[in-house]
Amino acid sequence: MRVAVTGIGMVTPLGVGVEEVWGSLSRGRSGVRAISNFDASSYPTRIAGEVPDFDPERYMDRKTARHAARYCQLALAAARMAVEDSGLRPESMGPDEVGVVVSSAAGGMEEIEKAHGVLLQRGVTRVSPFMAPMMITDMAAGLIAIEMRAGGPNYAVVSACASGVHALADASEVIRRGDAVAMIAGGAEAGITPLLMAAFCQMSALSRRNDEPERACRPFDTGRDGFVMSEGAVVMVLEEMEHARARGATIWGELLGSGSSADMHHITAPDPEGRGAARAMEAALRHSGLRPDAVDYINAHGTSTSLGDIAETLAIHQVMGEHAGRVMVSSTKSMTGHLLGAAGALEAAVCLLAMRHRLIPPTINLENQDPRCDLDYVPNVARPAEIRVALSNSFGFGGHNACLALGRGEV
């Protein structure tokens, strides 16, 4: 059974909505700025990718906005845009025909931090009863089901930075096995918070290029010094292909298959040889019935970390063989920063947009390419290209690896 993408909703540091986000990606514009969510003046990293000018009440009523965690607000906004884009009407379908899988790595982190402050300063009786449902990682999926009247399979997948890809992969399998006709799927994250930023700073995982935020994320460059934390949500409507065609839906593309694996190596560092990542990519190709030389473009995990970029390059060499030198690779995190649990959904959507527009978004800030990173990373300027098959890679702490294969959705 084939799975089409019929709707896309995007809330990112590059803006809100497909057109605005794609416009920035195609021009090579960065969404990284100085942090405004909280006072970060004492932090070694004071930059991040925040969603600009986001008003939740444009997408939900005031009561829902007041009681929803920020990551849920972002997810609901993206889901509403995706459903509207698809033309699907879940409320007019059977209760089991449309489900939701929307994931997050950290969930309601901001709400946890605020509630803990209230507990310490004002006591147990002042902690909000809404705190528990606001913090849990599956609440975005639950709220989307309530708002969209989607009563099918409903859950979240938590696999760190691979969560978004795993959500899309799981949702596509729900459709393939016949448990739903359509799924609302993706990822959401709102992790630019005092505690989470402090934790990543203490790990020395984040870029400290505070004076040049737009140049901070530089995958595959010798000057890279860590990733850039970002927030946002990207949600898609996945639909059984024949159902989509029968109702005349616009088809963005197709989820051909997916693969996942574990590094079995370290809680944060990737397998230095990229073996786990390679096995996930190989599984995605195998499940899609594709040979490596069918791949035109890879949206890399490409976080701008010293170890990760090299490991992913080695993994691509292992999987692609002689084709590695011909396949185009780019890291759009160079512009968006790293949306953690939403990153995989964003980058899968970017693959579909690249196919639609016949344009590879660049890896910006690639000025001095690391000789150990020796692939074609489409440096600095978008490149016109015909793309029939793309891979989207996501690799997370804990050694979680995930890869999606995407196609145009042609007959």
Using left for φ > 0, alpha for ψ between -120 and 50, and beta otherwise, residue 186 falls in left
Alpha-helical segments (H) within 61-149: 62-67, 70-86, 109-122, 131-135, 139-148
**Token couple for 131:** 């705190």
Whose structure tokens read 């560092």?
269
SS3 229: strand
Burial class (CB in 10 A: 0-12, 13-18, 19+), 6: buried
224 near 305, Cβ under 8 Å? yes
| Tens digit of each residue's pLDDT (9 = 90 or more) over 373-392 | 999 999 999 999 999 999 99
pLDDT at 23 over 90: yes
| Tens digit of each residue's pLDDT (9 = 90 or more) over 205-262 | 999 999 999 999 999 999 999 999 999 999 999 999 999 999 999 999 999 999 999 9
Average pLDDT, stretch 180-185? Answer: 98
Q: Identity (one letter) of the amino acid at 136?
A: I
Average pLDDT, stretch 172-197? Answer: 98
Average pLDDT, stretch 19-38? Answer: 98
Which CATH number is 258-407 given? 3.40.47.10
Contacts of 146 (CB under 8 A, 6+ apart): none
Q: What percent of the chain has pLDDT over 90?
A: 98
pLDDT at 134 over 90: no
Q: Does domain 3-246 have CATH number 3.40.1030.10?
A: no
- Beta-ladder partners of 233: 11, 188
| Tens digit of each residue's pLDDT (9 = 90 or more) over 66-75 | 999 999 999 9
The CA-based angle 98-65-80, given to 5 degrees, is 35
| Tens digit of each residue's pLDDT (9 = 90 or more) over 306-316 | 999 999 999 99
The pLDDT of residue 12 is: 98
**Domain ranges across the chain:** 3-246, 258-407
The whole-angstrom separation of Cα 163 and Cα 397 is 11
Asked whether this chain's domains 3-246 and 258-407 adopt the same fold, the reply is yes
* DSSP tag of 324: G
Predicted TM-score (pTM) of the model is 0.96
The pLDDT of residue 131 is: 87
The pLDDT of residue 375 is: 98
| Tens digit of each residue's pLDDT (9 = 90 or more) over 272-285 | 999 999 999 999 99
**Token couple for 408:** 């145009």
Please identify every residue annotated as catalytic.
161, 301, 338
**Token couple for 396:** 């997370």
What is the sign of the dihedral through the CA atoms of 297, 184, 134 and 35? positive
What is the sign of the dihedral through the CA atoms of 339, 384, 18 and 85? negative
The pLDDT of residue 219 is: 98
The pLDDT of residue 133 is: 87
| Tens digit of each residue's pLDDT (9 = 90 or more) over 135-178 | 899 999 999 999 999 999 999 999 999 999 999 999 999 999 99
The strand ranges marked E within 118-250 are 154-155, 182-189, 232-240
For all residues of the chain together, what is the average pLDDT? 97
Alpha-helical segments (H) within 203-342: 241-246, 275-288, 306-320, 333-336
The CA-based angle 341-345-350, given to 5 degrees, is 135
The whole-angstrom separation of Cα 228 and Cα 336 is 9
pLDDT at 411 over 70: no
Confidence of residue 86 (pLDDT cuts 50, 70, 90): very high
**Token couple for 388:** 């029939």
